[in-house]
Amino acid sequence: MIEEGMTRIGRFAPSPTGPLHAGSLVAALASWLDVRAHGPNARWLVRIEDADTERCLPGMGDVILSQLAACALVPDEPPVWQTTRTPHYEAALEKLKAAGLAYPCGCSRKDIDEALARRGIAHTRHGERVYPGTCRGGLHGKAARAWRFAATTFQQAASNGPLHWQDRRLGAQQQDVAREVGDFVLKRADGPWAYQLAVVVDDAEQGVTDIVRGEDLADNTARQILLQRALGFPTPSYLHTPLVLGPDGAKLSKQNGATPLRTATPAEALAALDGAAQRLGLAATAADSAAEALAAWVPQWRDLYNSRP
């Protein structure tokens, strides 16, 4: 819960899998505007989410930071890189293990598909398998491949029903994590930390109060709120921004034309920002510089999304 007088902290948390594109700039701009709309003491952080090392491209974190700087989006503190934070994720996993809320899992994708088929469950959820809980009671002689969060046990002990929360743009939300997702992965056994664990630990330890990010991530929110509760962390407020769609109406990706943004000259950076601002429902700018345009959008953002100092 956000209490009165709390320092408001927002963040932009890109994964360095490619340079900024039109969609990620919308999230960066929105999170920056939300912080500035919260008054002079609020702080905007940038965190480079390179925990999933297999998907990240070398040097891309620095490319993103320089693109942001070209758009006058400069963090109030030095950026944090997730690869420097392993001990914090270890500590969180240990805490969950000690509470009986994390267990090793030896299932391959094929094992999960077979277990789901045996139960007559044919569906996957957004292409992800709902974990049927096979290893919740033990590894059945298999080697551990991953650590999972006992979401089902935790959710049932807490409420035994769907989780409800409010999104500042999307309104009332709900999800039954136990039924719709199942016990999700925290860490691959000898591999990277899962996004869900890393993001929850980092947001809490960086004191993030207001999460503003793209709507493609909205579906992760219930998982993250459950993890926050299991780890004794406060839950921030959430606002998910509109996506930038490709010409085919699908979410922008490298396949359908998510070309890197051009930010090499001040005029290009200003045009890129202007496009992002219009996606957020802000007025096209007549400003001469990125900094001037940003300053003019702050009161508009405050009116649209009601972020008071």
Backbone angles phi and psi of 173, in degrees to 5: -125, 155
Query: What's the min distance (Å) between Cβ of 213 and ligand GLU?
Result: 4
CA atoms of 221 and 164, how far apart (whole Å): 10
Kindly report the CA angle at 89 between 83 and 95, in degrees rounded to 5? 170
Number of Cβ within 10 Å of residue 125's Cβ equals 11
The yes or no reply on residue 13 touching ligand GLU (CB under 6 A) is yes
Shorter beta-carbon distance to ligand GLU: residue 194 or 270:
194
Q: Does 202 bind ligand GLU (CB under 6 A)?
A: no
Q: How far is the CB of 54 from ligand GLU (least distance, A)?
A: 14
Among 45, 185, 186, 199, binds ligand GLU (CB under 6 A): 199
Residues 35-64 that bind ligand GLU (CB under 6 A): 49
**Site track 156-195 with ligand GLU (rule: CB under 6 A), x = hit:** ----------------------------------------
Least CB distance from residue 60 to ligand GLU, whole Å? 11
The Cα 309–Cα 42 span in angstroms is 8
Which CB, 34 or 145, lies closer to ligand GLU?
34
Mark 82-115 as b/e (b = at least 16 C-beta within 10 Å).
beebeebbeebbeebeeeebbbbbbbeeebbbeb
Q: How far is the CB of 230 from ligand GLU (least distance, A)?
A: 18
- Rounded distance, CA 250 to CA 243, Å? 9
Instruction: Please tell me whether residue 213 binds ligand GLU under the rule CB under 6 A.
Output: yes
How many alpha carbons lie under 13 Å from residue 139 in its C-beta half-sphere?
Answer: 13
Residue 213 or 279: which CB sits closer to ligand GLU? 213
8 counts as binding ligand GLU under rule CB under 6 A: no
- Using CB under 6 A, which of 9, 10, 15, 294 touches ligand GLU? 15
Nearest approach, Cβ of residue 16 and ligand GLU (Å): 9
Place of tokens 């420097």: 84
Which of 58, 8, 16, 22 has the alpha carbon at shortest distance from 241? Answer: 22
Q: Is 125 helix (H, G, I), strand (E, B) or coil?
A: strand
Number of chain positions touching ligand GLU (CB under 6 A): 7
Size of the chain in residues: 309
> Is 271 a binder of ligand GLU (CB under 6 A)?
no
Q: Which is nearer to ligand GLU, 202 or 293 (CB)?
A: 202
Cβ neighbours for 166, distance < 8 A, ≥ 6 positions apart: 172, 173, 237, 238
Interface residues toward ligand GLU, by CB under 6 A: 13-15, 49, 199, 213, 217
